[in-house]
Amino acid sequence: MPIYEYECLECGIHFDRLQHFDEPDPEVCPRGHKKVHRLLSQPAIIFKGSGFYVTDNRRNGSRSSSRNGTKPKETKAKTETNTDESTPA
């Protein structure tokens, strides 16, 4: 169940409510005022499990790019040279 944050427009207090998605918003604040609206806030997201980059959730400040601590193999790019003599240098 998500926690929603509300604000009373009359007294200005902020309050939270743990409720289901299909429950209606509260009609009164804890002090009894009737002008209440829901505030937007950032969701709390935690990336866990396989399928995410290792840099998304680092532990111990490690900079290695694999989970077992070994460095990735370096790949060498092949360069092709033009051996056609008809092109000017």
Comparing C-alpha atoms, which of 50, 13, 8, 46 is closest to residue 27?
A: 8
pTM: 0.48
Confirm whether 64 is domain-assigned. no
For residue 6, the one-letter residue type is: Y
What pLDDT is recorded for position 88? 61
Confirm whether 49 is domain-assigned. yes
Confirm whether 72 is domain-assigned. no
Confirm whether 27 is domain-assigned. yes
Comparing C-alpha atoms, which of 45, 28, 42 is closest to residue 6?
A: 28
- Provide block-wise average pLDDT over 10 residues at a time, the chain (89 residues): 90 92 91 93 76 62 52 55 56
Confirm whether 73 is domain-assigned. no
What pLDDT is recorded for position 44? 76
Confirm whether 38 is domain-assigned. yes
What pLDDT is recorded for position 43? 77
Range of the domain at 7: 1-59
Per the CB < 8 A criterion, the answer to whether 47 and 58 are in contact is: no
